Amino acid sequence: MSKEKVVLAYSGGLDTTAIIPWLKENFDYEVICCCIDCGQGEELDGLEERAKLSGASKLYIENIVDEFCDDYIMPCVKAGAVYENKYLLGTSMARPVIAKKLVEIARKEGAVAICHGATGKGNDQIRFELGIKALAPDIKIIAPWRMTDVWTMQSREEEIAYCKQHGIDLPFDAKHSYSRDRNLWHISHEGLELEDPANEPNYDDLLVLGVTPEKAPEEGEYVTMTFEAGVPKTLNGKEMKVSEIITELNALGGKHGIGIIDIVENRVVGMKSRGVYETPGGTILMAAHEQLEELVLDRATYEVKKDLGNKFAQIVYEGKWFTPLREAIQAFVDVTQQYVTGEVKFKLYKGNIIKAGETSPYSLYSESLASFTTGELYDHHDAEGFINLFGLPLKVRAMKMQESKNQQ
């Protein structure tokens, strides 16, 4: 009789490598590893050999970079989704597509369970599991770090020792390093000196995608982008797909010290955490998109979209991608993007994105209206009546307050 199968979300790191023999030993599962390639780069090198060496029967490496960019990143860009004014959701928006792929592999393999290596203190356990529950409510979820009665390892040293006990000699050492998560959109850093908010980040050791503004070139660099219906189409005159544009923007942004943030954020589980995020290309793309939007959207739509963008960010951060509310807000956003078409130009200089002009065939900007000269559509005398009506509640309240004081 064949063993039941479990699909493991496998990164190739020490935690998920140690989980492979642990699953076999404690549950007698056949372990199928699944690594979802969201643009981690060289982190995927040597994964198959490592997974098989650790006891996995199979490894899937699923390249979903374009799906990630088109179906998850771009809805967030269009919505202007930023969590707590700073975080551009790099980890958050990757988790639902990873969960989706894990479910697809589990269905293909006939697996009864999906296992992930997220800790019991973080947001990722929520994001993975809400995605799995929404797409496959019948599949069991195994989270080793919450199973403290069975998962007894509490340090890298203990995990390395456990692997060696099971005949797995891996190229990991016990030296502690930053906890990182990387994909095409960003890389996050936690741990070491960052655990104390009083400490300045050690950027010389920390940064991976770029340099600090102090180390950026002394000369700025101009960039031109075009958009169609809110989606970037060209970069410096060259037509590219979204993933290629983000890749190029990452190189440009990293070079000029763009997109480095240091934030103490509120996790879903109730605690505050401190991290440094590098999002060079994403920061540029979001700024360029907003630069064009302010030319095209009317005031009322822009105001509501800002509010819903914040809500969208919260939904994504909390792992609620596969919900009717996310779909509804995204539908609203898509309507607002119909005319977000045009060209933007800006200069990158020492951590700054400096606007250098924008045009759109759907621009609502009227030079004759905005200038100090009197245009045909605007009569200065009309402003007096407007102000009288607009300020009427204020005037009435002031009059009533004055009457009340006089009667005392």
Considering only CA atoms, which of 316, 279, 288, 310 is closest in space to residue 230? 288
- Given 50, 54, 95, 182, the catalytic residue: 95
- Given 15, 37, 54, 326, the catalytic residue: 15
Taking a C-beta distance cutoff of 8 angstroms, is the pair 124, 118 a contact? Answer: yes
Q: Is 179 annotated as a binding residue?
A: yes
Token pair 């924008």 is at which residue? 358
Q: Known catalytic residue: 180?
A: no
In angstroms, how far is the first alpha carbon of the chain from the final one? 93
Q: Is 188 annotated as a binding residue?
A: yes
Cα separation of 212 and 260, whole Å?
Answer: 8
Q: Known catalytic residue: 95?
A: yes
- Given 70, 71, 156, 179, the catalytic residue: 179
Q: Is 349 annotated as a binding residue?
A: no
Q: Known catalytic residue: 57?
A: no
- Given 54, 124, 181, 274, the catalytic residue: 124
| Residue type at 97 in one-letter notation | V
Q: Is 85 annotated as a binding residue?
A: no
Q: Is 404 annotated as a binding residue?
A: no
Cα separation of 218 and 338, whole Å?
Answer: 39
Question: At 78, phi and psi to the nearest 5?
Answer: -60, -40
Q: Is 92 annotated as a binding residue?
A: yes
Q: Is 9 annotated as a binding residue?
A: yes
Cα separation of 26 and 341, whole Å?
Answer: 56
Q: Is 262 annotated as a binding residue?
A: no
Q: What is the DSSP string of 268-301?
A: TTS-EEEEEEE-HHHHHHHHHHHHHHHHHS-HHH
CB atoms within 10 A of CB 58: 16
Q: Is 10 annotated as a binding residue?
A: yes
Q: Known catalytic residue: 366?
A: no
Q: Is 15 annotated as a binding residue?
A: yes
Q: Is 292 annotated as a binding residue?
A: no
Return binding residues for L-citrulline: 87, 92, 123, 127, 179, 188, 265, 277
Return binding residues for ATP: 9-17, 117
Catalytic residues: 15, 95, 124, 179
Return binding residues: 9-17, 87, 92, 117, 119, 123-124, 127, 179, 188, 265, 277
Return binding residues for L-aspartate: 119, 123-124
